[in-house]
Amino acid sequence: MAEAHSALLYMMDTMSQWLQFLTQQGALFGADSDTGADADVLDFGTADNTGGTTAASGRDFFAPLNQLGLIAASGDEAARFLHSQLTSDVEHLTPSEARLAGYCTPKGRLLATLLIWRTADAILLQVPRSLLAPLQKRLQMFVLRAKVKLADISDQHVVLGLAGIQASAALHDWFPQLPDVPYALAQSDAGILIRLADAANAPRYQWITSIQRAREAWPLLAKNLTPVGAPAWRLTEIRAGVPHITPATQEQFVPQMINYEIIGGVNFRKGCYPGQEIVARSQYLGKLKRRMLPASVASLEARAGMEVFSSLDPGQPCGRIVNAERSGAEQMDCLVELKLAALKDGSIHLGSASGPQLTIGTLPYALPETNPAAS
Can you spell out the DSSP letters for 119-185? -SS-EEEEEEHHHHHHHHHHHHHTTTTSS-EEEE-GGG-EEEEEESHHHHHHHTTT-SS---STTBE
Distance CA 129, CA 152 (A): 10
Instruction: State residue 374's pLDDT score.
Output: 38
Instruction: State residue 266's pLDDT score.
Output: 97
In order of 121, 143, 146, 304, the CA distances from 77 in angstroms are 12, 10, 6, 36
In this model, does residue 370 exceed pLDDT 60?
Answer: no
What is the pTM assigned to this prediction? 0.92
pLDDT band for position 46 (cuts 50, 70, 90): low
Looking at the chain, the whole-number percentage of residues with pLDDT higher than 70 is 89
Report how many domains make up the chain: 2
Q: Are 262 and 374 in contact (CB under 8 A)?
A: yes
208-221 pLDDT, tens per residue? 999 999 999 999 99
In this model, does residue 32 exceed pLDDT 80?
Answer: no
Q: What is the mean pLDDT of residues 128-146?
A: 95
The CATH number given to whatever domain includes residue 63 is 3.30.1360.120
Torsion of the alpha carbons at 262, 107, 133 and 266, rounded to the nearest 10: -20
209 shares its domain with 252: no
Instruction: State residue 31's pLDDT score.
Output: 67
pLDDT band for position 34 (cuts 50, 70, 90): low
Instruction: State residue 145's pLDDT score.
Output: 85
137 shares its domain with 80: yes
Instruction: State residue 113's pLDDT score.
Output: 98
Instruction: State residue 339's pLDDT score.
Output: 95
Instruction: State residue 33's pLDDT score.
Output: 54
223 shares its domain with 254: no
Q: Which is nearest to 170 in space by CA: 131, 209, 205?
A: 205
Q: 374 in a domain, yes or no? A: no
Residue-number span of the structural domain to which 15 is assigned: 1-245
Comparing 1-10, 270-279, 280-289, which segment has the lowest mean pLDDT?
1-10
pLDDT band for position 372 (cuts 50, 70, 90): very low
Instruction: State residue 24's pLDDT score.
Output: 94
Q: 370 in a domain, yes or no? A: no
Q: What is the mean pLDDT of residues 107-117?
A: 98
Instruction: State residue 286's pLDDT score.
Output: 64
Q: 215 in a domain, yes or no? A: yes
In this model, does residue 4 exceed pLDDT 80?
Answer: no
Q: Which is nearest to 270 in space by CA: 280, 259, 256, 255?
A: 280
When the pLDDT of each residue in the chain is averaged and rounded to a whole number, the result is: 90
Final residue in a domain of this structure, among 202, 218, 245: 245
Final residue in a domain of this structure, among 245, 269, 290: 245
185-196 pLDDT, tens per residue? 999 999 999 999
Final residue in a domain of this structure, among 221, 245, 269: 245
Instruction: State residue 284's pLDDT score.
Output: 84
Instruction: State residue 340's pLDDT score.
Output: 93
187 shares its domain with 268: no
pLDDT band for position 338 (cuts 50, 70, 90): very high
Q: 183 in a domain, yes or no? A: yes
Q: What is the mean pLDDT of residues 270-287?
A: 88
201 shares its domain with 259: no
Torsion of the alpha carbons at 245, 248, 253 and 259, rounded to the nearest 10: -40
pLDDT band for position 127 (cuts 50, 70, 90): very high
Distance CA 226, CA 335 (A): 25
Distance CA 162, CA 157 (A): 16
Q: 371 in a domain, yes or no? A: no
Q: 369 in a domain, yes or no? A: no
Q: 295 in a domain, yes or no? A: yes
94 shares its domain with 188: yes
Looking at the chain, the whole-number percentage of residues with pLDDT higher than 90 is 80
Distance CA 226, CA 284 (A): 45
334 shares its domain with 193: no
Distance CA 280, CA 108 (A): 9
3 state SS of 326: strand
